[in-house]
Amino acid sequence: MNNIIKSVGETSPLRRCVRPGDALVAVNGKRILDVLDYKYYAYEPRLLLQFYTAGGKHHLVFVRKPEGSDLGLEFESYLMDRPRSCANGCVFCFIDQNPPGMRESIYFKDDDARLSFLMGCYITLTNLSRREIQRVIDLHVSPINISVHTTDPELRRKLLRNPRAEEVMEVMRRFAEAGIRMNCQIVCCPGLNDGAALLRTLKELRGLFPAVTSISVVPVGLTAHREGLCPLSPFTPEGAEETVAAVERFGETCLSEIGTRLAWCSDELYQRAGLPLPPEGFYEDYTQLENGVGMLRLLETEFTAALGRSAPPDGAAFSIATGAAAAPLLSGLLERAREKYPALNGRVYTIINRFYGESVTVSGLLTGTDLISQLRGQELGERLLISADMLRREEVDFLDSVTLAEAAAALGIPIYPVPCDGGRLCDAMLGILPPIPAPQEGAEATKYNKYV
């Protein structure tokens, strides 16, 4: 049984009625199978809860609470069920491009609709049975994030290597009719689903507007570990420029006709094309930040606002370590801060990804080993700032399992993980530092993967 209670919050209305080890069986007569059932049925203000105690006794508890407020229960399994692994064999899958010898959770491919709703993960829909599709509709699981890649049935079967891949538009139409909002992702592979295939996908997804609320177009990520995998080519600067131009033209048409651009390219595509990032207003509500769409522009906007109301720095020398994608922007922000505070003593170090290959440029895929090897012996000052995205939050370690504490000891300097927020980055440069996190007690090893 996966609905066993691990802890009861101090402010929970159930703190005197249930104990760790008890199991939640039903809410208002509805059996609880997983976290979606729990969150959906426990939303109401009047609840009749059925439990089994650790000793096997049955008891009922009646609760009154504000509508939508949490019951304060933490379960031994977050999902109250096992996560669903991916049934696809995507030709561009990032997980297949991991080197051997990493921790087991790195190789787990999730494709779970519950994680899409709860954590923002993207799913392909191929894992959903007819019953589960109807359950998503009945529970109104919205928004849901979908890895579409292409709407061409034959091409999608080829890309995902799954016969059910061709059903994507059928399922999405059902979701649209039920009023479920969808954010869509297209991992664009040169020579496969770019060009005319990409335009077809964009137009067919637009046909589901307003249920489809946003579309991101991101370049395929290729590591140095592709032995035996499907041959794929990275974007050339010319190919990236053509793709950006096509998506921007599509977006301009949508903006004039339906009031939103609907589709955006990731920052990485602009960088590969050698193009400047669009202005802030271009990104509307920044609905695709998790896919790197407008992330750098928002970081700059937040930094500029924070710098305008900042206090003088504390005078300590510092360094910033980041991936190649963000390094030019961070160097520019540091210079902007130095214009206001000439005594600001900091420098930016670009960490080249030797682990995955130099074509992988995002900070979130840097390892502790690369960080240590490239910074050892450098002038780092009194503190080192890194992006918090480099670390697993629970275990506070890098992708290669080097812990934050181990990296700090190896470099002989405190390391401060800074959230991806321009204001927090500005504060950290000036000496208002985030806390150094410690591993959470009993932290789970699984990190659900968004690279589907």
Question: Residue ranges of the domains in the chain?
Answer: 5-75, 95-293, 298-430
> What's the confidence (pLDDT) of residue 443?
43
- Same fold? 5-75, 95-293: no
pLDDT in tens, 159-191: 999 999 999 999 999 999 999 999 999 999 999
Q: Report, as an integer, the average pLDDT of 194-221.
A: 98
Q: Report, as an integer, the average pLDDT of 254-258.
A: 98
Using CA atoms, how far apart are residues 38 and 86, in angstroms rounded to an integer? 24
> What's the confidence (pLDDT) of residue 318?
98
Residue 346, pLDDT above cutoff 70: yes
Residues of the chain above pLDDT 90, percent:
69
Report the mean per-residue pLDDT for the chain: 90
393 three-class SS? coil
pLDDT in tens, 119-155: 568 889 998 888 889 988 988 888 999 999 999 999 9
Fold that domain 95-293 belongs to in CATH: pyruvate-formate lyase- activating enzyme (3.80.30)
Using CA atoms, how far apart are residues 314 and 305, in angstroms rounded to an integer? 19
pLDDT-based confidence at 85, cuts 50/70/90? low
Q: Report, as an integer, the average pLDDT of 252-259.
A: 98
Residue carrying the six token digits 């997983």: 34
Distance of CA 405 to the CA centre of its chain: 24
Q: Report, as an integer, the average pLDDT of 389-400.
A: 87
Residue carrying the six token digits 């109401």: 44
Answer yes or no: pTM beyond 0.85.
Answer: no
Residue 78, pLDDT above cutoff 70: no
Residue 452, pLDDT above cutoff 60: no
Residue 356, pLDDT above cutoff 90: yes
Nearest Cα residue to 183 out of 218, 224, 212, 151 = 212
Do 113 and 138 meet the contact criterion of CB atoms below 8 Å apart? no
Residue 109, pLDDT above cutoff 70: no
Residue 402, pLDDT above cutoff 90: yes
Highest mean pLDDT: which range of 121-125, 288-292, 302-306, 400-404? 302-306
Do 180 and 140 meet the contact criterion of CB atoms below 8 Å apart? yes
Do 184 and 146 meet the contact criterion of CB atoms below 8 Å apart? yes
Q: Which residue has the higher pLDDT, 70 or 444?
A: 70
> What's the confidence (pLDDT) of residue 80?
59
Fold that domain 5-75 belongs to in CATH: Pdz3 Domain (2.30.42)
pLDDT-based confidence at 451, cuts 50/70/90? very low
The residue length of the chain stands at 452
Q: For strand 46-52 and strand 144-147, is the pairing parallel, antiparallel, or unpaired?
A: unpaired
User: What values do phi and psi take at 243, rounded to 5?
Assistant: -65, -45
Residue 448, pLDDT above cutoff 60: no
| Distances 402 to 101, 131, 144, 219, 434 between C-alpha atoms, Å | 14, 42, 33, 28, 21
237 three-class SS? helix
Residue 116, pLDDT above cutoff 90: no
Domain 298-430 has CATH 3.40.50: yes
Using CA atoms, how far apart are residues 21 and 408, in angstroms rounded to an integer? 39
Using CA atoms, how far apart are residues 369 and 386, in angstroms rounded to an integer? 14
